[in-house]
Structure 1
């Protein structure tokens, strides 16, 4: 239901109220979100990754502010690590089905993948909350210390840098990351030569990442990492990936049929939003 409402909002003139009402079904009494909002984490319990997902939805409909976000920030504060950042997953997930690539541990560390996108979108929406101070410091330290990375981590860094308040510092960090992405071959620059492109260690077969994965909009700092031709090729590839049923496939490891089915509408909406952001025609 949530993805139907999101699709209607972005492409059919639907309302933000309808999206927010559908999202509210996933909210818990602790002001977090659960109930498999992020399909790879089953069960009702709140998790930081669910909260990040909810904030991205609110951001996409212009509702990332006010009391609704104040409540989420209270939840983020309650689950933060000692250095003020977010873990990917908390021990409360134990006992519920969980993707094997998201391990449940007793004392989870701070995680840039969980923290960076949340901090970035809160800054973009000019949210003020005490939680942001230490979380922002963590993101700066994590991003500026990256020497060897993988695509998902770099994408989380970009989500932070695109909206970090210190723009000169963000631009310098992004420039260094862009060189690293090219040196370590983290992005497929020619989709016609996929077989010659390496997949990062720990990723599934075919789990490649493309320029559009790093630069979701033309205004992203990551857009400068790629030539016009490289970006155009990646967008052509993205458009051609649409399946006969109208949706896009998921590229990460599938561990259960149900979760793969739930993820496809999410991937489809993001593919369409990316193509639209770059001025591509949406059939």
Structure 2
């Protein structure tokens, strides 16, 4: 499985994903991953240049910045987090939240809709990864308060937002509160059908096949969301994930490729994610 994926990545991936794979699966150094990520950084401390493939163009965006921070965390580097937080302070609303997509976005997927409104999804992703990194910054304090408030008010959601909230709850320091909110979020996810347990259930407005399976909510066994699913549900989901490897060695993605290059950029990303999840659950060594 890993050998086939390695061949796929060398044939198809960006340098960033090639360096990331080398670090995660071949014992490669962290420095080349960091250097590759920094190529996407702007002078304002944020990240752009299609680091997250669906947002094209050079401008700094919240989702690009989250992706950069996630990659830094993955290789154990925190040096550039403060500059990213400084950028986030320039786009944060009075309530502590940040928009999902800024009006400065250039060419972008149709689902990237600029708005000035604070967005729980992207704010929770950013706050979660910064807590995981152990960062202390004034931006994070206000963002954490925003996430707690919006989580407490949440009565209806969608899979991507619920998944972002799960990531926030995995790493926010107040563990008793996180445990309580995770139980409530679990009930919401299951009652509103926001998880595909093998029946192909999808949320209204999503593309056919674009569903969230248990491993999306619980990419590692130590996630709070692992408790949301029975062992047989997880096992069946991981079987399906492993079976999703294509003949060329890579995995594919279910959402629309709105411009051809995103197919080639997203597939290596989801391939590394699939391998990482399977390894976390001891399906591969």
Q: TM-score, normalised by structure 1?
A: 0.93
Partner of residue 283, structure 2: 280
Task: After TM superposition, give the deviation of residue 57 of structure 1 in Å.
Answer: 0.4
What is the CA deviation profile of residues 50-95 of structure 1, one whole-angstrom value per residue up to 9, with x for unaligned ones?
A: 10000000011111x23x11111111111112212211111111xx
**1:152-171 alignment to 2 at 5 Å?**
152-171=160-179
Question: What is the CA–CA distance in structure 2 between the aligned matches of 1:179 and 1:222, rounded to whole Å?
Answer: 11
Task: After TM superposition, give the deviation of residue 179 of structure 1 in Å.
Answer: 1.2
SS, match of residue 6 in structure 1: helix
**1:126-205 alignment to 2 at 5 Å?**
126-189=134-197, 191=198, 193-194=199-200, 197=201, 199-205=202-208
What residue ranges of structure 2 are gaps of 5+ in the alignment? 1-14
CA contact (8 A) 2:125 2:167 kept: yes
Residue 128 of structure 2 is aligned with which of 117, 120, 141?
A: 120
CA contact (8 A) 1:207 1:253 kept: no
Partner of residue 34, structure 2: 20
Partner of residue 215, structure 1: 218
CA contact (8 A) 2:66 2:126 kept: yes
Question: What is the CA–CA distance in structure 1 between the aligned matches of 2:170 and 2:268, rounded to whole Å?
Answer: 25
Partner of residue 76, structure 1: 88
Partner of residue 61, structure 1: 75
Partner of residue 47, structure 1: 61
Partner of residue 22, structure 2: 8
SS, match of residue 208 in structure 1: coil
Q: TM-score, normalised by structure 2?
A: 0.92
CA contact (8 A) 2:193 2:203 kept: no
Partner of residue 243, structure 2: 240
Once superposed, which parts of structure 1, at least 4 consecutive aligned residues long, lie more than 4 Å away?
none
CA contact (8 A) 1:188 1:208 kept: yes
Partner of residue 110, structure 2: 100
SS, match of residue 232 in structure 1: helix
CA RMSD of aligned residues (A): 1.1
Question: What is the CA–CA distance in structure 1 between the aligned matches of 2:153 and 2:220, rounded to whole Å?
Answer: 25
Task: After TM superposition, give the deviation of residue 126 of structure 1 in Å.
Answer: 1.5
Task: After TM superposition, give the deviation of residue 253 of structure 1 in Å.
Answer: 2.5
CA contact (8 A) 1:91 1:104 kept: yes
Partner of residue 268, structure 1: 271
Which is bigger in relative contact order (C-alpha 8 A, separation at least 6)?
2
Question: What is the CA–CA distance in structure 1 between the aligned matches of 2:16 and 2:104, rounded to whole Å?
Answer: 25
CA contact (8 A) 1:203 1:253 kept: no
Partner of residue 37, structure 1: 51
